[in-house]
Amino acid sequence: MKYTPALLLLTTLAACGRAPEPQPEPTRAAATPTPAPTPSAIGAATDLSRYVGQYPFDPVAGGRFIDEPAVRAAVARVVPDADVRDTVLSRDATANPVAEQDGRILSWACEAHNCGPHNWAIAITSDGRDAAVCYHDQDAGVSRWYPADYRSASPDGCPSGE
């Protein structure tokens, strides 16, 4: 008789008086977008200035700027367009280090290999309570700030902090 690994396992388990436990079939979960945090996710102790000089996707004290609940909630609050929100909050981008500019924390990023025509910026207070987002897509003919009254449209892209 030829002993296969499965037969050896069954023989060993039977000898111990145990039957093998059924293994669940692997399943594939459908990808679902993570809901944006609500404004209540902004904690009183938020201090986004700790990210200044770091890239928005790099961990700083256990968190990433782009994943901060205050940042995600602020972007969700001011950007009504879900596609723009998803792009601005994506890690699939090229970015400059986070900077401080005009009293705000500024995070600028762009589409890799297409930065001039497609870029965006988050300008947010260090406590995360007040934010604006600039989104520039030259191919779509879009360059705007959210909320609309924050600043006039920037024809040559969003501020990079450099």
Distance, in Å, from the CA atom of 24 to the CA atom of 18, rounded to the nearest integer, reads: 18
Q: Is the dihedral of CA 19, 20, 25, 31 positive or negative?
A: positive
Give the model's pLDDT for residue 46: 85
pLDDT digits (tens, 9 = 90+) for 101-124: 888 999 999 999 999 899 999 999
- In CATH, the architecture of 36-146 is 3-Layer(aba) Sandwich (3.40)
Give the model's pLDDT for residue 141: 86
Task: State yes or no: pLDDT of 18 exceeds 80.
Answer: no
Confidence band for 136, pLDDT divided at 50, 70 and 90? very high
B/e letters for 61-86, b = 16+ CB within 10 Å, e = fewer, are eeebbbebbbbbbbbbbbbeeeebbe
Confidence band for 2, pLDDT divided at 50, 70 and 90? very low
Q: What single DSSP character describes residue 92? A: S
Give the model's pLDDT for residue 38: 45
Distance, in Å, from the CA atom of 101 to the CA atom of 123, rounded to the nearest integer, reads: 8
Give the CA radius of gyration of the chain: 24
Written as six digits, the tokens of 42 are 């902004």
Of the ranges 33-42, 85-94, 146-155, the best mean pLDDT one: 85-94
Q: Is the dihedral of CA 31, 122, 108, 96 positive or negative?
A: negative
Strand blocks (E) in the chain: 94-95, 99-101, 104-110, 118-124, 131-137, 142-146
Give the model's pLDDT for residue 63: 93
* Domain boundaries defined on the chain: 36-146
Angle at 74 between CA 73 and CA 77, to 5 degrees: 85
Written as six digits, the tokens of 57 are 């996707």
